[in-house]
Amino acid sequence: MHPCTLSPQPCCCRRHSTGTKLGLVRNGERAMHKTMEVGSAISGLTVGVTTSARETGAAKLQVLHREVTAAMPKASDQEIRVLLATLEPGDCTPYHSHRFPVTVYMLEGTFTLELDGRETVTVKAGEIFVEPPLVKMTGRNLDARQTARMVLFYVSDPDMPFADPAV
């Protein structure tokens, strides 16, 4: 069955056979359009990869970290920020908190987080840590020789500050 027969909108395809073809036209642009049986499409989704990745073996997904949180923004729109943070040897962050979780992925070095009311956490290169929201904290690079570099992933309400000074 062709996917356009499931859609209430008319299809722009010129023919309804399985395979890759140039035939999808929207707003004057032509794009590649691959059709397949609905069952095949759904089975591709259930394993979490696209059909082209399954056929070529080019894309392989590996879960690096998974964590449940109830503290994500609830507004209809969210802002996603991906930041690169660098702390030279001996550097530390100001005492602060975040309104929503911050996911830290360490690229190099070691990052030590002192969290109010919790144990100190050390995150090493290749490791991931989710900073909890609304917890006062400071981060340090305690290494005397190596720079600490990390990627920070933050989802918040639009235009919300990344961090709030802790008092």
- What pLDDT digit, counting tens, does each position of 92-132 carry? 999 999 999 999 999 999 999 999 999 999 999 999 999 99
Higher-confidence residue of 26 and 154: namely 154
Number of other residues whose CB lies within 10 A of the CB of residue 101: 21
Last residue of a domain, one of 22, 41, 56: 56
Task: State yes or no: pLDDT of 43 exceeds 80.
Answer: no
Clarify whether residues 46 and 109 are in a common domain: no
What domain range is 83 assigned to?
79-165
Instruction: Please work out, in degrees rounded to the nearest 5, the angle formed at the alpha carbon of residue 111 by the alpha carbons of 73 and 130.
Output: 25
Which residues make Cβ contacts (< 8 Å) with residue 33, sequence separation at least 6? Answer: 13, 20, 21, 22, 23, 24
pLDDT at residue 75 in the model:
85
Q: Is residue 63 part of a domain?
A: no
Rounded Cα distance, 64 and 2, in Å: 36
